Amino acid sequence: MHALDSSSLLAFRLPIARPVNHQIASWFLSMPRRRRRRGDLAFSVAIAAEAVAAAAVGAAGAVAGGDGGADFDYRKLSGIIIPGFASTQLRAWSVLDCPYSPFDFNPLDSVWLDTAKLLSAVNCWLKCMLLDPYNQTDHPECKSRPDSGLSAITELDPGYITGPLSSVWKEWVKWCVEFGIEANAIIAVPYDWRLPPSMLEERDLYFHKLKLTFETALKLRGGPSLVFAHSMGNNVFRYFLEWLKLEIAPKHYIRWLDEHIHAYFAVGAPLLGSTEAVKAALSGATFGLPVSEGTARLMFNAFGSSLWLMPFSEYCKADNIYWKHFFEGKGGCHHRQQCDEMEYKSEYSGWPTNLVSIEVPTVRDMEAYPSIMDTTENTTSSMECGKPTLLSFSAREVSDGTLFKTMKDWDPQSTGLIHQLEKYYQGDPVVNPLTPWERPPIKNVFCIYGIDSKTEVGYYFAPSGKPYPDNWIITDIIYEFEGSLLSRSGNSVTGKPNNSSGDGTVSYNSLSWCQNWLGPKVNITRAPQAEHDGSDLQTRMNVDHHEGQSLLPNMTRTPHVKYITYFEDAESIPGWRTAVWELDKANHRNIVRMPVLMRELWLEMWHDMHPDAKSKFVTKAFRGPLRNEDCHWDYAKARCGFPEHCEYRYTFGDVHLGMSCKLKNSSTNLLQQYL
């Protein structure tokens, strides 16, 4: 007779553990039908058993003291950083001679990003950057691989001038050092951001290595890890969680997550994709690089990861193929997309407006992609003979390939995108990444993003008459801005604007999708981003939250004051906490460098790990300075601001009064007031 482990015994005793089991079962059964994944019943039963055990442990921790925080020591934690798209250095792994240029490429030379080589030897640089669009292999003459360690994600192009301009996670690491975090507690997991998810594992074993990273961090530090993911790094982490289901037995899946991951911080996550990916695929997006839009489009369409950021409908989900791995083997099966009735009742797939509108000639043989032998004059005059037709596409029609299949008649190069979509996304052996995802089964989840910036949500394209990659031009852009829709041309826009606007790159409906992870009762708090005494604090408790609807704070705003709005839920799922933070005017690319974000993260982590913490989340009643840099000189009162925390203390080298304002007490003493 085989011995049974504790989870198996618990599974047999589920009817006896009535109080906790009833809570878990009620939560699972109360989920709307469209949020339950098809074919996942057996897996959910196993996870429910693990959740019962986790809830029982959490309840025991609460009895022992506080919220179970006494079991943790923040010095045992590790921070694992997953960077976003184009946020990892790539280095050459070839010897490439560049004629007519003083620069060559040798092994370990920087490729992404070396501005000098980009400007002086762009053709050589492209050889090291581009991948084959059909099989994602390297150029025959040059290949690049991601760098490793923290240096790979802090500055993409280190240098006196280029370093600050390409800084990504440098300020984040600096904060950790100032607060005494050990060097081995911050772990970067860079990856080749050009590859689609399945190729990351096939070529680099990235997800196997990521699993080992979590396990090594636990053994080294003695505690679970905090995951910080930015932008596309959240897509990578989502894929890792789905991949992990197939690597670990279902009854051990939740246990592994509880042991290795304490909290997940999703920063600027494009949970429903980004419309900027459509612009990059059709006309190119330079992101500030000194290259033409055509060259940028050439690169973007060569990377299989480009479709990973494409927008998709919130109402369409793929068939779960969990059991197919056991009965039919891995791979070879497409995720058939299933859309509920809301997809066909709503006009724009849950987005503010149609994402893409293309003006094409009525005469089918008038291609937007002319032969290189054709002259621009002849092509343009031929196109003028046909009466243009306007074709519009929703988010569903982008993600299922309808857009690119329609474009194929005028742009044969779109066949490469169709191939990537079918092979690496619809045919992915783990999950179709172009589908909405539910709340990750992690104890503590924090979703953080910026709002109320002018964000692109739709485009109008027309043929330019030029050859690929410059064969499409943007004739108009639709923006969302603070609850309204605008157009670049000034024309009126039809659509359903979101309650707020996005972060300048990702639209609000995509960023705020994580509000669906909150429970039926939510506490909402709005406070100024700057240091404050609580006089401008607004709070609403137990606000009703209906699944599928955005939460409206209904709170006032003082002009010219930037706020942070907290949506918090620690009751709906026993032992789990979920929070959504909205930061006014926080830019998508710069949010990880914002001092206010780093302050809030640090306070939340400090509170969460402290055994004397009395509340579920850190207090929002006030915010004071935590570092010397946070102290400033108040010219109106001729003294340092926050006199209860800061004092004037000149040291040699201070060049203005603000630099001489320093903290009275250590950061550790100041943090005690947030318990």
Residue 462: phi and psi, rounded to 5, are -145, 150
CA atoms within 13 A on the CB side of 487: 15
129-164 confidence digits (pLDDT tens):
999 999 999 999 999 999 999 989 988 877 655 666
pLDDT at residue number 3: 42
Residues 6 or more apart from 180 whose CB is under 8 A from it? none
pLDDT tens string 437-474: 999 999 999 999 999 999 999 999 999 989 999 999 99
Q: What angle do CA 261, 228, 530 make, to 5 degrees?
A: 125
Q: Specify whether the CB–CB gap between 495 and 352 falls below 8 A.
A: yes
What was the pLDDT predicted at 334? Answer: 59
DSSP E strands: which ranges in 379-492? 388-393, 444-451, 455-463, 472-481, 484-487
Short-list 87, 78, 88, 238, CA closest to 590: 87
Provide the β-strand partners of residue 338: 317
pTM for the whole thing? 0.85
* Residues 39 and 319: beta-carbon distance below 8 Å: yes
Distance CA 620, CA 158 (A): 37
pLDDT of residue 202: 96
pLDDT tens digits along 392-441: 999 999 999 999 999 988 888 899 999 999 999 999 999 999 999 999 99
- Alpha helices per DSSP H over 249-320: 250-260, 276-282, 293-302
Q: Looking at residue 320, what is its pLDDT?
A: 57
* pLDDT < 50: residue spans in the chain: 1-72, 323-332, 365-384
Residue 340: what pLDDT? 85
Lateral strand order in the sheet of 563-569 = 186-188, 78-82, 225-230, 261-267, 444-451, 577-584, 563-569, 521-528, 538-544
Pairing of strands 639-640, 78-82: unpaired
CA distance 495 to 348: 8
What is the model's pLDDT at position 328?
47
**Per-residue pLDDT tens for 562-605?**
999 999 999 998 889 999 999 999 999 999 989 999 999 989 98
Query: Cα separation of 49 and 613, whole Å?
Result: 29
Q: What distance in Å separates the CA atoms of residue 337 and residue 396, rounded to the nearest whole number? A: 10
